[in-house]
Structure 1
Amino acid sequence: MTLDFNTDPMLATWLFRAPCNPEELITLGPTGFECLVRLLYLPDPATEGLPETDAVDDVFGPGDGSLVEQAANLLGQSLHQRLTFCLWDGYSDMPLPGRTNVDVSGLRSYVLAQGTFDDLHQWTASIGLTETRPPAFTWPEDRSWCITSDVDPHWAAVACDHLSRDRLLASHLPTSEMHPNDRIPRYGS
């Protein structure tokens, strides 16, 4: 199967079901889930504001896209399960074949697509890129979890239930559980 870019934008309306800060939506994902886990692309900075260039990019090995794929595979019930993706349309080197049809308060806009786990693994290659990048949002048809990956933070957020949280935290993936009001360490510029 290949990505289907002729996707009804109504599929993304659930992301906005509860009022939330748009900046939190694009970094932490939709509200209403039992748990939130950060999938770390880089380790948290030792000190607040440490420049990201001081972080070692290969500490965890695989790139951002690969970590999101692994997390999605761990959360998914079937590799043939249908997934929906919001692909950020702001990469200057990545022309997307679909049209922008999801907007988050003017902060970010996305192209909506649907496919399977295989499509998640191959979506950047399918449009001619060699670098794997994670979709901004990834969720299954039953919306039992959602992985949110913005271009700015050094992590992706996984909104899920308790069982999925436990699977993620027990896995080999670099993760950190989040609780309401947790202060998230950030790199400086």
Structure 2
Amino acid sequence: MTLQHTRDVALAEWWAGAAVHWSTLVELGPPGFEAYCRVSFPVGDVWRPESEVFDDLASLLRQHTTDAGRECLFALWDGWGDIDGTEAVGMLTALSDTGQWFTRMFGKPRPPQVPPAFGATIMGAPRVAIGERQFLLFRGPLDQAGSWGARPIAVDWPARQISIPNLTWPADHSWSVAADAGHNTMGIGGSRRLIERIVLHPRLDARHVTYPEAA
């Protein structure tokens, strides 16, 4: 099962249209929540995949989502190189598959051109615009976060991996998660109880933060 793309970018207006500097919106989320925190992605000797950290966070988010918010919205930054597709993407994907990269790179020809991650309908769809960022919008259950339904690079090549969601929120707007490209943190807004549980989670490197003043 994968997320479903939606052209209804108005669903993101409550976030994208907030009167806050765009960098705050994509790094920390929209204003108005009781509390906020940042979760850092571990680096160095304690490195964990971003998807694993997101899954730990999602396990708490599910417990603070009402029935009305079971469906979530997921925004994917369209600046990831893997979305447009290039020959370099095929090279990097092969090299990242450490168990079979030599066979894939030298045992068979590389694809002459890596196709875009999505078909023309999605690639040409309206974007959610927040400052210097443009996002494709998807919807579905929280446990499918990151399952974009992207097309494979080529037959017998590794599955195309893009990113964890860059913006995530439930239909009832009870919390938000922002994971901007190029930053090593996620910004989360929600109830005080949710934020406190995130900060105390033993597998999450989280800290309380104060939301900036509105512009």
Shorter chain as denominator, the TM-score bin is: 0.7 to 0.9
Q: Residue in 1 aligned with 2:140?
A: 115
Counterpart CA distance in 1 for 2:171 and 2:5 is 16
| Larger proportion of helix | 2
**Are 2:57 and 2:198, in contact at CA under 8 Å, matched by a contact in 1?**
yes
- Following TM superposition, by how much is the alpha carbon of 1:65 offset from its aligned partner in structure 2, in angstroms? 2.2
Counterpart CA distance in 2 for 1:149 and 1:180 is 16
| Residues 35-65 of structure 1: CA deviation (Å, up to 9, x unaligned) | 11111113xxxxxxxxxxxx51x41x42112
Residue 60 of structure 2: which of 74, 81, 97 is its match?
A: 74
Structure 2 residue 72 is the aligned partner of structure 1 residue 83? yes
**Are 1:139 and 1:145, in contact at CA under 8 Å, matched by a contact in 2?**
yes
Mean alpha-carbon deviation: is it higher for 152-161 or for 2-11? 2-11
- Following TM superposition, by how much is the alpha carbon of 1:6 offset from its aligned partner in structure 2, in angstroms? 2.6
Counterpart CA distance in 2 for 1:161 and 1:63 is 26
Q: Residue in 1 aligned with 2:107?
A: none
- Following TM superposition, by how much is the alpha carbon of 1:132 offset from its aligned partner in structure 2, in angstroms? 6.2
Identity fraction in percent:
27
Q: Cα–Cα, structure 1 residues 123 and 79, in superposed 2: closer, same or farther, change >3 Å?
A: farther
Structure 2 residue 163 is the aligned partner of structure 1 residue 133? yes
| Residue type at the aligned position of 1:151 | A
Q: Cα–Cα, structure 1 residues 19 and 92, in superposed 2: closer, same or farther, change >3 Å?
A: same
Residue 206 of structure 2: which of 172, 175, 179 is its match?
A: 175
**Are 2:177 and 2:186, in contact at CA under 8 Å, matched by a contact in 1?**
yes
- Following TM superposition, by how much is the alpha carbon of 1:130 offset from its aligned partner in structure 2, in angstroms? 4.9
- Following TM superposition, by how much is the alpha carbon of 1:73 offset from its aligned partner in structure 2, in angstroms? 2.2
Q: How many residues align?
A: 164
**Are 1:137 and 1:147, in contact at CA under 8 Å, matched by a contact in 2?**
yes
Structure 2 residue 64 is the aligned partner of structure 1 residue 93? no
Q: Secondary structure at the match of 2:127?
A: strand
Larger radius of gyration: 2
Structure 2 residue 51 is the aligned partner of structure 1 residue 65? yes
Q: Cα–Cα, structure 1 residues 168 and 10, in superposed 2: closer, same or farther, change >3 Å?
A: same
**Are 1:35 and 1:161, in contact at CA under 8 Å, matched by a contact in 2?**
yes
Q: Residue in 2 aligned with 1:52?
A: none
Structure 2 residue 129 is the aligned partner of structure 1 residue 103? yes
- Following TM superposition, by how much is the alpha carbon of 1:66 offset from its aligned partner in structure 2, in angstroms? 2.1
Q: Residue in 1 aligned with 2:182?
A: 152
In structure 2, stretches of 5+ residues that fail to align are: 84-115, 153-158
In structure 1, stretches of 5+ residues that fail to align are: 43-54, 182-189
Counterpart CA distance in 2 for 1:176 and 1:34 is 15
